[in-house]
């Protein structure tokens, strides 16, 4: 657990050395957006990204993940983790990963997620560009990012790598690092502090005030109907959320029609059938039938239901849902502010 310095010139070769030794996933440019992808070369890496379209949860919890395979009556597990370095994770996504870690570990440990999580070294990085809908500096600020193995900060002339775990330390041998000076450590601290307070959106209320008021507003049907009025029930807000982890499970057959695989797919609680069960004669009982009750459910999950378990809200302020929402009604800052202002 040390503070190391590497020059800008030596940084590229360090990334290439990691790529040569293991799978490295980091932010890459996709025209005007960014995405986490496997790096072919250090030149792919874009640490100046503002936000990625999908959060890094997809490394451990991919949109489609095989759970078990079968062949006739024989069923076997298929947990096959791949050693991975996840490089360039902003602190708000570190918080999101820490939450999904907790949730997949809680009660029944889910090794289809945890095995890949344990096989991954997470290198967080400082925020060099801020996305237009971000509000990570004003939501859940009492929750500290943790669970990452190292933190990389770009400072004048190079990078400071602060290692947090043995897995983080193991990376040092791959690059031309030297011990950081007190001045470099201080410079990194200032870089990370300077970004706070610069988000374009701001939530003006404390976690507890939001949790209490949003919880109380459950029965204010008219307000929720208004807030959700233009919801298409598409679930885009769920899909891009770093703390959403709902899934559906479905089986598929191989061509031999004897063997196949059971797979989980990302699911979304905003979609129409999410809480529906089929009853007698094909009748449906939908426990959240109206789109406003599904919209409300998501906000309850993000601002109040899980707070006790997670130690804070299940929203990290990345602003991805605000961007992804077709009708532009998902923005947590706007929704929460509306709810808060209704009472005051």
Partner 1 sequence: MSHDNTHDHGCQCEKESLFLPRQAKILHTSKPTESEKHFTLQMSDGQPFVFEPGQILEVGVMGYGEIPIGIASSPTRQGTFDIVVRTVGRVSTAINGKDVGDTLTVRGPLGHGFPVDQLRGKDVLVVAGGIGLCPTRSLIQYIMDTREDFGRFVLFYGARDPLQLLFTEDRVHWRASKVVEYHETVDRADVHWTGNVGVIPTLFHKVHISPETRVVICGPPVMFRYVIAELDALGISRENIYVDLERRMKCGVGKCGHCQINDKYVCIDGPVFTYAEIESLEEAI
DSSP string, 52-116: BSS-GGGGTS-SEEEEEEEETTEEEE------EEEEEE-HHHHHHHHHHHHHHHSSS--HHHHHH
Residue 290 binds to partner 1 (criterion: CB under 8 A): no
Residue 2 binds to partner 1 (criterion: CB under 8 A): no
Residue 53 binds to partner 1 (criterion: CB under 8 A): no
Residue 23 binds to partner 1 (criterion: CB under 8 A): yes
Burial class (CB in 10 A: 0-12, 13-18, 19+), 20: exposed
232 vs 253 by CB, closer to partner 1:
253
| Cβ within 8 Å of residue 110, ≥6 positions away | 104
Among the listed residues 11, 10, 46, the one whose alpha carbon sits nearest the alpha carbon of residue 26: 46
Residue 309 binds to partner 1 (criterion: CB under 8 A): yes
SS3 316: coil
Residue 272 binds to partner 1 (criterion: CB under 8 A): no
CA dist list (Å): 20 to 39, 41, 120, 186: 10, 9, 16, 32
- Contact by Cβ (8 Å): 91, 145: yes
Per the listing, tokens 């570190």 go with: 94
- List, in sequence order, every residue forming a beta bridge with 3; answer none if it has no partner: 162
Residue 64 binds to partner 1 (criterion: CB under 8 A): no
Residue 276 binds to partner 1 (criterion: CB under 8 A): yes
Of the residues 31, 32, 108, 344, which one makes contact with partner 1 according to CB under 8 A = 108
Task: Give the binding range for partner 1 (CB under 8 A) out of 115-123, 178-186, 198-206, 321-329.
Answer: 115-123
Residue 102 binds to partner 1 (criterion: CB under 8 A): no
Residue 188 binds to partner 1 (criterion: CB under 8 A): no
Of the residues 75, 166, 194, 209, which one makes contact with partner 1 according to CB under 8 A = 75
Round to whole Å and give the CA distance between 160 and 187.
Answer: 9
Q: Name the token pair of 208.
A: 């507890």
Residue 109 binds to partner 1 (criterion: CB under 8 A): yes
Residue 246 binds to partner 1 (criterion: CB under 8 A): yes
49 vs 177 by CB, closer to partner 1:
177
Positions touching partner 1 (CB under 8 A) are: 21-23, 67-68, 70, 73, 75-83, 103-104, 106-112, 114-115, 118-119, 170, 218-219, 245-251, 253, 260, 262, 264, 267, 269, 274-282, 285, 287-288, 293, 297, 300-301, 305-306, 308-309
């Amino acid at each position: 657990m040390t503070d190391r310095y590497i020059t800008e010139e030596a940084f590229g070769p360090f990334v290439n050395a990691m790529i040569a030794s293991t799978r490295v996933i980091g932010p890459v440019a996709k025209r005007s957006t960014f995405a986490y992808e496997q790096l072919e070369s250090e030149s792919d890496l874009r640490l100046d990204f503002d936000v990625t379209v999908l959060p890094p949860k997809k490394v451990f919890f991919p949109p489609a993940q095989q759970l078990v395979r079968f062949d006739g009556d024989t069923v076997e597990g298929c947990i096959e983790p791949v050693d991975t370095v996840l490089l360039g994770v902003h602190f708000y996504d570190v918080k999101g990963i820490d939450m999904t870690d907790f949730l997949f570990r809680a009660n029944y440990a889910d090794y289809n997620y945890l095995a890949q999580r344990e096989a991954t070294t997470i290198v967080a990085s400082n925020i060099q560009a801020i996305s237009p809908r971000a509000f990570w500096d004003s939501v859940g600020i009492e929750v500290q990012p943790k669970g990452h193995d190292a933190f990389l900060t770009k400072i004048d002339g190079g990078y400071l790598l602060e290692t947090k775990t043995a897995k983080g330390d193991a990376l040092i041998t791959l690059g031309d690092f030297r011990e950081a000076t007190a001045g470099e450590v201080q410079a990194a601290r200032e870089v990370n502090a300077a970004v706070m307070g610069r988000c374009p959106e701001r939530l003006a209320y404390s976690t507890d005030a939001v949790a209490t008021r949003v919880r109380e507003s459950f029965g204010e049907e008219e307000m929720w109907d208004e807030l959700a009025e233009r919801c298409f029930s598409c679930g885009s807000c769920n899909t891009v959320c770093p703390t959403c982890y709902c899934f559906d499970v479905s089986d598929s057959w191989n061509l031999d029609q004897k063997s196949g695989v059971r797979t989980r797919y990302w699911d979304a609680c905003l979609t129409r059938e999410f809480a529906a069960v089929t009853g007698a004669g094909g009748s449906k009982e939908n426990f959240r039938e109206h789109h406003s009750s599904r919209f409300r459910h998501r906000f309850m999950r993000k601002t109040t239901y899980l707070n006790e378990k997670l130690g804070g809200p299940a929203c990290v302020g990345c602003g991805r849902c605000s961007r992804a929402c077709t009708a532009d009604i998902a923005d947590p800052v706007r929704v929460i502010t509306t709810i808060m202002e209704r009472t005051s």
